[in-house]
Structure 1
Amino acid sequence: MKIHIDIDCFFVSATRILHPELEHKAVAIGGRSDTKIFNKDAKNQTVNFENSGSFVPTFYKAYETKDDDIAAFKDEDGRVRGILTTSSYEARAYGIKTAMTIREALQLCPSLIIKAPNMTLYQELSHKLHEFLASRIPLIEQASIDEFYGDVSGWIHDDEIPQFIDNLRDEIKKEIHLPVSIGAARTRYIAKLATTYAKPFGCKTIYAFEEDTFINPIKVEDFAGIGRSMKQKLHAVQIKTLGDLKKRRGTIESWGPYAIELYKRVNGESDAAIQTQRRRKSIGISRTFDAIFDRIEIKRRVHILARHLSYAIYKLGVIPTVYHLSIAYDMNQKSHKNISLAELFTEKKFDDLCMRLFNEADTQKRLQIIRLSITCSSFTRDSKKELSLIGFEDDKQMNKLTIQTQRLREKYGIDAIKFASEL
């Protein structure tokens, strides 16, 4: 069987290890886009590859701020800014949810305790849990900073699964001081669903003969992979539960390959092997900030984002061939531009390319900009694209310079060497 392990309210649970007095209290972890990288005296940035994702940035400060309360989320005018990355179950009882603004959360629960994120702590605990699970389970996959899958087929007899995951949960709490919930089923997708219904600090095993009884009443939107648009599409044809979905195979399969695979996952016909090693397929950086009209300042910020992303790409040792830049304006407007380019990667070329993409993407010049995002993907190791020989020798010389710059940044920090255009 497959098992799914999820840390309950991870960021809050990690904080409670350092601050036991927060147990049984309404606590939330705040988050703000790190716009301090745009400061001309910015420093102490570090890069994280292994567990970046939602609310877990690729780039963050190498040291943690001492401000760990609401003061950390007030701007120069005293306004409370930012959103919540997670909250305790005591806070959720007030209707507080992930991604809610801190201001809204405090209106629902004035006594809510807000803590600043501590990414270094989260990474350390996640690594510790991964190592612990690897010592207990033959095949373990880390899906995110707080989520793991395991395959215990042939290792633990099916009849012993409930006791095994109960013991595993208790061991994790004792050894690492983190509360987890664990689901078990014959596929990873159903195991993940079981975990949802085991929370908090619970375990749930779904045997094959129990799947229909367990799955059928569940709302379609509670199944991983069914987002807002798919939910709307399903509701439009009166499919509101997973049981309804399983009865409408013909309808679902008529929607194409993704829907066919989704049906198989819900029906327990599709599974995926546990991947003990995951290779990153893309990398990006984005920042949200107060609305800015000044395009000179915006371009300065593009240079800064390009420098940080270039550092990460060299650290990964990859050559991207697809580049994407997107802009979010006020008035809820968006624009983007992408390009495919199979050439040797150098920092200078990448910086020029980002500026070119920005100039082409900036189609709403009368609007203020509130977000910039740059993403690189389709690495040559995966796409099998051959690099162009045009300008290859010049690129090799520029690459040598970039490597020297990279070494200095590795030693003294990402901000040790900057573009003149950033100052």
Structure 2
Amino acid sequence: MKIHIDLDCFFVSAERTLDKSLMGKPVGIGGRGDTKIFSHEKSRQFLNLKNSGAFVPAYFFEHRSSKQNDLHKFIDADGRIRGMLTTTSYEARAFGIKTGCTIREALQRCPGIIIKQPNMRLYQELSYKLKRFLQKRIPLIEQGSIDEFYGDLDGWVEESDVPQFINDLKNEVMAVLDLPLSIGAAYSKFTAKMATNAAKPFGTRVVYPHEVDRFIHDLPITSFPGIGRRTAAKLQGLGLNTLGEIKKHPHLFLHSTKSQRDLYERVCGIDKTPLQQERERKSIGISRTFDPEIDRKELQRRVIILSRHLSHALIRMKKLPTHYSFSIRYEMNQKAHANITVDRLFSESYLREIMIDLFTKADQYRNLKAIRLGLSCSAFTQSNHHTFSLLEYDEDSKRHRLTQSTSALREKYGLDTLQWGGEL
């Protein structure tokens, strides 16, 4: 049997481990485009690659927690309240304040809500501690995101003992790490995830095979973790609004594409997807959204900054990329991108040169303001020799060793310790 573990209001719960005065109060964690990375002021910034899974941020700034409302940090000089909420406490949700709600709207619904600035270093540390804790109690653990994990209990816990096991696990995590979570169990990862949602907050739920039909009967199709907006719209166009209705119409799925057949089986609680303890990373990237900017020299400066961060991650991961991609998003929903494949040994200076060149090639709408830049690398090779051009290899090797040295200093003292002149 598989289990799905989801931390309840994780970012808020993490803040409460430091400040007990937040208990029982409406709290929201504010989010805003991370423009601090482009600031001229130096700040200690770090990279964390211990956690894995989707939506697990790698870069974060040093944060000094304070027992006060951080609302003032989301108010511009002109008095405008900016930002959205990435997490809300259940007390805030009672006012209709949900994740994705703007801070301005949240204050209108609940003037007394406490807004906290995100402390990603704390969240990363607690997520990693939970991961290590779970690995000692369950043989196979897969991290889905910063606040959710899957576990496989087959051959470890008897089916009849699962309810007691997950309830004890929930209480033990609370006692040891002071983090509330909910756990769902089923023979399918997808059903287990839905069971967790049904168990929240701070609860457990087991869905046995003979209970799946009754469990999914009235659940809306949007509650299924494998159905996005587009797929939901198509299914609703066919008159299917609940998971139970999907179950009743196998002919619409089983004679279609493999993805459609897989979707039907997963909705029915049949899941052949094994858990993966560690996923091999096939690419890595960094991107930032910011207020509209038209100054191309400033945008190029930001490309250099993002290149520095991406280089540090690649060195830490010991990856040697051969494919480089760059994307830019403008106002009015315009987008552009450029990419290149090369056979040169990786170095920070070479990455910077490539990304500046790709930025120049991709920037098709120079009369428009940019709102997002994205850099990524892929097609990794493990060799330092056979795939790279011999003509530039000696010089590239020197650059690569220099990159390793500068990365070691940044790892010790922060990512902003050494910067390029073009960043200033």
TM-score tier after normalising by the smaller chain length: over 0.9
The answer as to whether partners of 2:51 and 2:128 remain within 8 angstroms in 1 is: no
Distance 2:185 2:38 in 1: 46
* 1:43 corresponds to 2:43: yes
Shift of 1:144: 1.7
Equivalent AA in structure 2 for residue 290 of structure 1: D
Distance 1:387 1:4 in 2: 44
After superposition, what is the alpha-carbon deviation per residue over 1:211-253, rounded to whole angstroms, capped at 9, x for unaligned?
1111232111111121111111211222222222233334335
**Sequence identity (%):** 50
After superposition, what is the alpha-carbon deviation per residue over 1:266-305, rounded to whole angstroms, capped at 9, x for unaligned?
2233232222333333222111211111111111111111
Report what 2:73 is aligned to.
Answer: 72
Distance 2:371 2:317 in 1: 29
* 1:57 corresponds to 2:47: no
Report what 1:4 is aligned to.
Answer: 4
What is the correspondence of 1:64-213 to structure 2 with a 5 Å cutoff? 64=64, 66=66, 68-213=69-214
Greater Cα shift, 309-318 or 233-242: 233-242
Query: Any idea what SS the aligned residue of 1:117 has?
Result: coil
Aligned residues: 421
Query: Any idea what SS the aligned residue of 1:111 has?
Result: coil
Report what 2:373 is aligned to.
Answer: 372
Report what 2:229 is aligned to.
Answer: 228
Distance 1:53 1:71 in 2: 32
Shift of 1:413: 2.7
Gaps of 5+ in 2: none
Shift of 1:65: 5.9
Query: Any idea what SS the aligned residue of 2:422 has?
Result: helix
Equivalent AA in structure 1 for residue 339 of structure 2: N
Gaps of 5+ in 1: none
Report what 1:291 is aligned to.
Answer: 292
Query: Any idea what SS the aligned residue of 1:380 has?
Result: coil
After superposition, what is the alpha-carbon deviation per residue over 1:41-92, rounded to whole angstroms, capped at 9, x for unaligned?
3231101223377765321113436575101212233322111110011111
Shift of 1:350: 0.9
The answer as to whether partners of 2:60 and 2:121 remain within 8 angstroms in 1 is: no
Query: Any idea what SS the aligned residue of 2:333 has?
Result: coil
Shift of 1:261: 2.5
Greater Cα shift, 332-341 or 289-298: 332-341
Equivalent AA in structure 2 for residue 338 of structure 1: N
Query: Any idea what SS the aligned residue of 1:271 has?
Result: coil
The answer as to whether partners of 2:52 and 2:144 remain within 8 angstroms in 1 is: no
**CA 1:255–1:38 in structure 2 vs 1: closer, same or farther (change >3 Å)?**
farther
Distance 2:217 2:322 in 1: 44
Distance 1:246 1:120 in 2: 43
What is the correspondence of 1:402-421 to structure 2 with a 5 Å cutoff? 402-421=403-422
Query: Any idea what SS the aligned residue of 1:350 has?
Result: helix
**CA 1:137–1:410 in structure 2 vs 1: closer, same or farther (change >3 Å)?**
closer
Distance 1:316 1:137 in 2: 27
Report what 2:33 is aligned to.
Answer: 33
Distance 2:34 2:53 in 1: 15
Distance 1:101 1:338 in 2: 35
The answer as to whether partners of 2:52 and 2:143 remain within 8 angstroms in 1 is: no
Shift of 1:394: 3.2
The answer as to whether partners of 1:140 and 1:151 remain within 8 angstroms in 2 is: yes
Shift of 1:390: 5.3
Shift of 1:369: 1.0
Distance 2:234 2:387 in 1: 41
Equivalent AA in structure 2 for residue 283 of structure 1: I
After superposition, what is the alpha-carbon deviation per residue over 1:159-205, rounded to whole angstroms, capped at 9, x for unaligned?
12112211221222222211111100012121111101111111110
Distance 1:202 1:379 in 2: 42
Report what 1:321 is aligned to.
Answer: 322
Distance 1:44 1:308 in 2: 13
Shift of 1:360: 1.9
Report what 1:334 is aligned to.
Answer: 335
Distance 1:155 1:106 in 2: 48
The answer as to whether partners of 1:56 and 1:119 remain within 8 angstroms in 2 is: no
* 1:347 corresponds to 2:381: no
Distance 2:241 2:93 in 1: 25
**CA 1:248–1:323 in structure 2 vs 1: closer, same or farther (change >3 Å)?**
farther
Query: Any idea what SS the aligned residue of 1:299 has?
Result: helix
Equivalent AA in structure 2 for residue 74 of structure 1: I
Equivalent AA in structure 2 for residue 240 of structure 1: N
Greater Cα shift, 304-313 or 370-379: 370-379
The answer as to whether partners of 1:185 and 1:208 remain within 8 angstroms in 2 is: yes
After superposition, what is the alpha-carbon deviation per residue over 1:360-379, rounded to whole angstroms, capped at 9, x for unaligned?
22111111111111122332
Shift of 1:381: 5.0
**CA 1:325–1:151 in structure 2 vs 1: closer, same or farther (change >3 Å)?**
same
Report what 2:14 is aligned to.
Answer: 14
Equivalent AA in structure 1 for residue 35 of structure 2: T
Greater Cα shift, 273-282 or 198-207: 273-282
The answer as to whether partners of 1:3 and 1:191 remain within 8 angstroms in 2 is: yes
Query: Any idea what SS the aligned residue of 2:97 has?
Result: coil
Distance 2:310 2:8 in 1: 32
Shift of 1:308: 1.0
Question: Normalization by structure 2: what TM-score?
Answer: 0.92
Distance 1:251 1:378 in 2: 38
Distance 2:145 2:221 in 1: 23
The answer as to whether partners of 1:52 and 1:58 remain within 8 angstroms in 2 is: no
The answer as to whether partners of 1:189 and 1:271 remain within 8 angstroms in 2 is: no
Distance 2:20 2:323 in 1: 47
**CA 1:173–1:403 in structure 2 vs 1: closer, same or farther (change >3 Å)?**
closer
Greater Cα shift, 265-274 or 231-240: 265-274
Report what 1:270 is aligned to.
Answer: 271
Report what 1:23 is aligned to.
Answer: 23
Distance 1:276 1:222 in 2: 26
Query: Any idea what SS the aligned residue of 1:197 has?
Result: helix
